[in-house]
Homo-oligomer: A and B are copies of this chain.
Amino acid sequence: MPQTPAYGAAAPAMAHFTAGEAGQWRITRQSAPIGEGLAQAASIAINSPASDALWTLTGFTSNLRYTTFDERGPLDARSDPLGRPEARHAALIPIRKSSRWWALAQDERRAIYARSQHMPIGLDYLPQVARRRYHCRDLGQPFDFLTWFEFPESSGAAFDELVMRLRATEEWEYVEREIDIRLIRNI
Contacts and interface: CB of A to CB of B under 8 A. Distances in A.
A103 B62 CA distance: 10
Contact of A105 (B11, B68, B105, B106): B68
Contacts of A140: 12, 14
A138 interface: yes
A71 interface: yes
A121 interface: no
Contacts of A6: 103
Contacts of A107: 68-69
10 contacts: A5-B103, A12-B137, A12-B138, A12-B140, A60-B139, A65-B106, A68-B107, A68-B108, A72-B105, A106-B110
A47 interface: no
